[in-house]
A and B are shown apart, each in its own frame.
Chain A
């Protein structure tokens, strides 16, 4: 499977799904691809039963609309999830692949057949998506009060073919791979200019720019192994802003008096 779109760090809270309480996370497809599975960061309390995921279109307010796209869903047994609150990444294979269009916003919709399924979320997210929830089994959706929240998710397309991928000599343009887990070599066409880019995670192997070419060899990558060093010596200072704050803990003393068969207390 190849990772396509995701928001997968910074979770510090959760949503509690149960029967009629559904939740959804929107995302904008970063490219054209066929989505085959979705990973969600989940945990449980008790036995939440079967968890079902699907994709839906969104309306102008980024809320799910309509029914499940292509009637495709994916299920997983919530009873096998971890009970630890940090959760686990659970991959849910879809019953069929759905073609996503680059730049189009979709919603991942999750529900469970019973209570106590938890979906991890970031309460102060910078992700460009919208979290919404429904209290009537997906009939209507609400985004009020959760603007800063986003769920943890990853979308995967089917695995890329193995073998060699090469551009056609004499052509200009970009050779790009929207892929994770690329193994092997990728090389730019000699004497071509342009950009050799990998929108990639976990790239293994070697990557080289074309001899004599100019441009940018870049990785939009996380988890780069190896050494990253500045070219020259850097100088500067360590800056910390706002470390010491006044204590917000105060001790309040209050006078209580008993008299005339009554209790009186000091209003603070």
Chain B
């Protein structure tokens, strides 16, 4: 199968609930899934040995090396990663990284497997199966090492978890509804050890976030920032862990006035700044740092207008490396209705956009694929398709279209204003000309299609804003021919007012447009009466 082809992991069918909150993170060449009570592992690296007899003596530990002598100087070796006993199938599974010497190419089911002290761990007779992750990834429950009901040698994961990440080699989980303020960390380099002891610097750890004497805040997001900080996005506050909790680490407040909306309502840009949806809109902060609300000036009513709720909406954010901006997607879970924003990192502007309901974004992910054709921001949509933005398409794609084909027209516009029409706000001005230079018109590159314009004037700035927002009854309207600069782009009708607003738009199917420059000619008018 070619790169880019998705293959279903048959063993996973029905084992997870994607209608419930689900998160995944990568660690040690495995994917760890936290989906409430469904804590699972997709293992892409290990060999699995199946013993038909339970291993009760000389139980190998994580990191032990097992050897299989296949005679004729052929040896198979395994570094043990994880073992567990399936008491339903009565099989004991040993997972580990395999390597070979002397011409051996795989473990076989004929020879004993022994440990470093020559103790037989699995006899050749009991070794019933050898399965390679390279053939089919392994799928199994995420449980403590050699989990046997009732034993706590390697601790216990929480009954449920909806949040997870990797931090300093530790698997971190949180979001347990029974203990919403609690987080849990595995032993370093060992995702199977959750025995919380304080004996060594790599010990598993559990904890909460609060000032002394206070109960912890509800954790809504786990954000690992390199190996330096672990950020806890909580309901009404944000905390960060600096360093390792068992080796001098400390928990500090990042902000006590804003929380985070949800598990995926955050992202990092290329400079290590953390963007997130907080109490009052879209914020940005460094770690550590002081969060700043980016949307409070441009979109002061953003939170009220969107009226989002974690129980009904999902907010996902991602850094679009190609277009140098932050994509913020607000999607209603029930029907896919969506409201999205592209925050342009270069201009600092917010660009609202919306997609068809079926294309409402449930997840965003920048995939750094080895194949550059697949290297892009991916959008997991309500209809089950994974989409990405295609700059060469003039229309949007929906569920009825073939991949790479779009039949839904894109309605896009930009507004300018309110623009004062005179230097003195007690005076009026006259609009005597408007010219628009659209993109293209040279020998190379793409050419813009025609652009429609609407001009609104008013006696106050707010009046013009309302007219722009309503978009009806313009004082002047027309078509600007494209591409490039055209004589027909000028208008000569004189329009008087104190403030001016211009809306440029294209909502024609199979068309696209771009603006290079908007030129407005104004002359002084008389005093405002």
Contacts and interface: CB of A to CB of B under 8 A. Distances in A.
Interface of A: 13-16, 21, 45-46, 115-116, 121, 123, 133, 135, 142, 144-146, 149, 250-268
Contacts of B116: 45
A145 B16 contact: no
B56 interface: no
Contacts of A268: 3, 370
Contacts of B102: 13, 123
Interface string B362-387: 00000111100010001010001010
A120 to B, nearest CB: 11
Nearest to B23: A258
Given A115-B118, A121-B73, A263 B103 contact: no
A16 B111 CA distance: 13
Contacts of A266: 3-7
A198 B14 CA distance: 80
30 contacts: A13-B73, A45-B117, A45-B118, A46-B117, A46-B118, A123-B102, A135-B71, A142-B72, A144-B72, A146-B72, A149-B73, A252-B370, A253-B367, A254-B44, A255-B6, A257-B6, A258-B18, A258-B24, A260-B18, A261-B13, A261-B14, A261-B18, A262-B12, A262-B18, A263-B139, A264-B7, A264-B8, A265-B7, A266-B7, A267-B2
Interface in B52-77: 69, 71-75
B1 interface: yes
Nearest to B22: A258
A222 B475 CA distance: 105
Interface residues of B, number: 48
B367 A262 contact: no
B384 A263 contact: no
A133 B74 CA distance: 12
Contacts of A258: 16, 18, 22, 24, 33, 35
Given A252-B370, A262-B12, A266-B3, A257 B71 contact: no
B6 A267 contact: yes
Given A254-B44, A265-B42, A259 B384 contact: yes
Contacts of B69: 16
B491 interface: no
Contacts, number: 106
Contacts of A261: 13-19
A164 B54 CA distance: 71
B31 interface: yes
Contacts of B378: 255
Contacts of A15: 73
B73 A257 contact: no
B137 interface: yes
Given A146-B72, A257-B380, A263 B9 contact: yes
Interface string B401-445: 000000000000000000000000000000000000000000000
Contacts of A259: 18, 380, 384
Contact of B71 (A14, A133, A254): A133
- Nearest 5 Cβ contacts at the A-B interface: A267-B1, A263-B12, A264-B6, A263-B9, A16-B69
B299 interface: no
A101 B15 CA distance: 73
A7 B448 CA distance: 81
A194 B19 CA distance: 96
A146 B71 CA distance: 10
Nearest to B1: A267
Quick one: which of A14, A250, A254, A264 has the most chain B CB within 10 A? A254
A29 B12 CA distance: 64
A250 to B, nearest CB: 8
Nearest to B16: A261
A259 B22 CA distance: 10
Contact of A145 (B2, B12, B103, B368): B103
Interface in B320-371: 367-370
A36 B31 CA distance: 63
Contact of B9 (A45, A146, A255, A265): A265
Contacts of B37: none
Contacts of B35: 258
B101 interface: yes
A46 B120 CA distance: 13
A116 B116 CA distance: 11
Nearest to B75: A16
Contacts of B24: 256, 258
Interface in B99-138: 101-103, 116-118, 137
A116 B118 contact: yes
B380 A263 contact: no
B72 A133 contact: yes
A267 B135 CA distance: 10
Contact of B5 (A123, A145, A252, A267): A267
Contacts of B75: 16
Given A13-B101, A258-B33, A265 B6 contact: yes
Given A144-B72, A258-B24, A265 B33 contact: no
Contacts of A265: 6-7, 9, 42, 44, 137
A45 B102 CA distance: 19
B376 to A, nearest CB: 11
Quick one: which of B6, B73, B384 has the most chain A CB within 10 A? B73
B380 A123 contact: no
Contacts of A145: 72, 74, 103
Contacts of A254: 44
A259 B13 CA distance: 10
Contacts of A255: 6, 367, 369, 374, 378
A253 B370 CA distance: 6
Nearest to A251: B370
Interface string B30-57: 0101010000101010000000000000
A123 B6 CA distance: 42
A256 B8 CA distance: 10
B345 to A, nearest CB: 24
A87 B368 CA distance: 49
A45 B118 CA distance: 7
Contacts of B3: 266-268
Contacts of A267: 1-3, 5-7
A267 B33 CA distance: 19
A261 to B, nearest CB: 5
Contacts of B44: 254, 265
Nearest to A114: B118
A24 to B, nearest CB: 12
Contacts of B118: 45-46, 115-116
